[in-house]
Structure 1
């Protein structure tokens, strides 16, 4: 669709919902006009139009929490945008990952236990580093430095071994979760992204004989 075909309101604005490309979490909602949308496409980062200040604004211009655009979609009526981004930091001025951090209603059977929690946790840890919170254990680790983080990883690794030797599945799960958290603190400290780890694992997986054999079988079936 040509930008000119989108349905901007009487003030020349269109709502833009911003979503994390990896976790699919809704981060924020703001407005764009044609100029800010064109600028976003050109620069590859989000630019919006402030209704209160009546001017364009670049997300993260002052905070550094920019949003790298991965995809822009529009709805069936052409009057709302969905912008999928890789955020450099929290979307909310409060330091929360998302502006939608308060609930009116939340079902008791909601399931948050999928792989997206890794991205959410990584984002929360990164957010703590960039926007410290007093009393935060994560900030305590960052303040103490690399040696403290490495020490905790070593301790948690040992705890996994002990739990496994004691043959307690629940304890193994608990200690692995602790280990993953501290490992991601290290990743943020060393500026290693989750996608870089996933890409490395993917390269190894797709080189395996098992994958080649499975891929060949699937081709034969087709």
Structure 2
């Protein structure tokens, strides 16, 4: 999705890439990690609609556009539990694991009083926190005649991007699957060009 208003912001605000990374206060990071944990618990319970409800709004618009509209996106999501069951896939766990990385984003201005005078100061209005995650699935292998069905456990490492207005800790999310640095930079123009995303990997860890 192209966000045309970002170009206008670049002209209006004297902000350059590379100024956005900042260590969020520990209470902010803890809040973001807790929110990802809560999201994972709901998804494991099969409440996949939570993933849409708590998706970062602009990213949700992009996903809906690709799906042919918000209604179709919600319909696709509603089919996921049945599709997983049909394919013999069971979600075991989804949780944050690893060291988060935080950035200040969404440049703007605020008026503050300094030495008895009101002055405009450049600020960033939002936090984004990149939170590594680990997801485990149990997958049924194709049944063979006369052989007891076997299962394998797949562990997938990925990440969630948690986004909130400063001082609110009301988090929405972007899933890291298929996400690129360029995608994030289109949404948040002050992100540094050399930023790195947490790794995404998948491996079999257990068979039974």
Normalised to the residue count of structure 1, the TM-score between the two structures is 0.22
More strand by share: 2
More helix by share: 1
In terms of Rg, which structure is larger? Answer: 1
Normalised to the residue count of structure 2, the TM-score between the two structures is 0.23
